[in-house]
């Protein structure tokens, strides 16, 4: 049993063929089975957390080893980063967990307890008879675990007490409906401040321009796709998917010039600056080689060659040939 008391969670039909996981796979340079394996691990971890839905910090290197991913890649970290960009996870939490994984912890672990609770509900009707036959489960038919997946759609019928002498009635549960973006929509200060925190490469002026694009796009859309239940959430997703802003070029240049080759993000930023993007399914280390060769910094190239040598002679010869056009042995003979 997990810490939260829930040792199961919902796996929705169609997850394996959901296009968003294929997009994550393409973005991360991974296969679809790799993405689904990491997603299942995230869901299991979030389900076992005391705060259901939160999975906290994941040791990507350990998960790479668990799933037997190549040790020359950062595949788990790449997949998690792509999932966050697609709005599946955010800050160590599964987005929309409460909506897709409602908490239904069972306290009535026996059929007798369920019957007792049903009798208590019937007694609460205060003598009001309704033509309803309660549905009692036989204790020998199913275990509580087997019934759990069915009782979310099939719960014992309940009758409401008749309103005696009053004109009021029970208020219906609020319904959540989708709507179009209001014609007079403007970005609130709270959402604008959130965008600046989420995207440190943006300025306030750029946030205003993105908000105008967001408004014009959704006002121009038609049909069901133009209707959303939560427009604030739609704005946050829009911000996360927006490409990096060019206004941050000066800041990014200063950062990358100081030590761009020290981190993966530094290589990505430098590659973007040079117009080099990581190819689909390309190992990240090969991407760093292409960036380093374009820059032509001998110190960075030497560092990458040393790293390749630690990975074995074959990798070292491949890297040496990439940077210098020939394996090290041929260069020595030529000298």
Q: How does pLDDT run across 273-295, given as a tens digit for each residue?
A: 999 999 888 899 999 999 999 99
Rounded Cα distance between 6 and 67, Å, is 25
Question: Which residue shows structure tokens 């990240």?
Answer: 284
Q: Quick one: pLDDT at residue 10?
A: 82
Residue 86: closest CA among 3, 20, 134, 16: 20
pLDDT, greater one: 190 or 244: 190
Q: Which helix (H) or strand (E) holds 217?
A: helix 204-220
Residue 285 in contact with residue 72, Cβ under 8 Å? Answer: yes
Encode pLDDT of 150-169 as tens digits.
Answer: 444 445 555 554 554 444 44
Residue 20: closest CA among 75, 74, 95, 93: 95
Average pLDDT, the chain: 77
Q: Quick one: pLDDT at residue 259?
A: 82
Q: Quick one: pLDDT at residue 195?
A: 92
Q: Quick one: pLDDT at residue 172?
A: 52
Q: Report, as an integer, the average pLDDT of 17-26.
A: 88
Band (268; pLDDT cuts 50, 70, 90): very high
Q: What is the pTM of this model?
A: 0.33
What is the chain's alpha carbon radius of gyration, rounded to the nearest angstrom? 28
Please return the burial class of 291, using the count of CB atoms within 10 Å of its CB with bins 0-12, 13-18 and 19+: buried
């Amino acid at each position: 049993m997990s810490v939260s008391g829930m040792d199961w969670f919902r796996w929705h039909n169609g997850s394996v063929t959901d296009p968003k996981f294929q997009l994550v796979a393409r973005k991360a340079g991974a296969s679809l089975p790799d993405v689904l394996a990491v997603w299942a691990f995230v869901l299991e971890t979030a389900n076992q957390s005391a705060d259901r839905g939160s999975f906290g910090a994941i040791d990507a290197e350990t998960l790479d080893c668990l799933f037997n991913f190549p040790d020359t890649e950062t595949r788990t970290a790449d997949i998690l980063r792509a999932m966050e960009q697609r709005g599946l996870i955010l800050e160590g939490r599964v987005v929309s967990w409460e909506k897709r994984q409602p908490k239904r912890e069972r306290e009535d672990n026996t059929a007798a307890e369920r019957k007792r609770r049903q009798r208590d509900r019937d007694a609460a009707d205060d003598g009001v008879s309704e033509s309803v036959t309660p549905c009692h489960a036989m204790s020998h038919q199913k275990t509580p675990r087997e019934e759990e997946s069915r009782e979310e759609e099939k719960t014992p019928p309940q009758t409401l007490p008749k309103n005696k002498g009053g004109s009021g009635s029970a208020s219906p549960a609020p319904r959540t409906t989708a709507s179009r973006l209001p014609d007079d929509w403007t970005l609130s200060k709270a959402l604008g401040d959130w965008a600046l925190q989420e995207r440190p490469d943006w300025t306030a002026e750029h946030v205003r321009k993105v908000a105008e694009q967001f408004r014009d796009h959704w006002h121009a859309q038609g049909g069901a796709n133009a209707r959303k239940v939560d427009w604030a959430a739609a704005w946050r997703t829009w911000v996360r998917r927006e490409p990096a802003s060019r206004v941050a070029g000066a800041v990014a240049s200063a950062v990358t010039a100081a030590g761009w080759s020290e981190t993966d993000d530094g290589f990505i930023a430098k590659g973007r600056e040079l117009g080099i993007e990581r190819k689909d399914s390309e190992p990240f280390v090969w991407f760093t080689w292409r960036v380093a060769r374009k820059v032509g910094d001998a110190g960075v190239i030497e560092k990458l060659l040393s790293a390749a040598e630690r990975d074995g002679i074959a990798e070292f010869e491949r890297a040496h040939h990439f940077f210098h056009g020939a394996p090290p042995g041929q260069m020595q003979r030529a000298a």
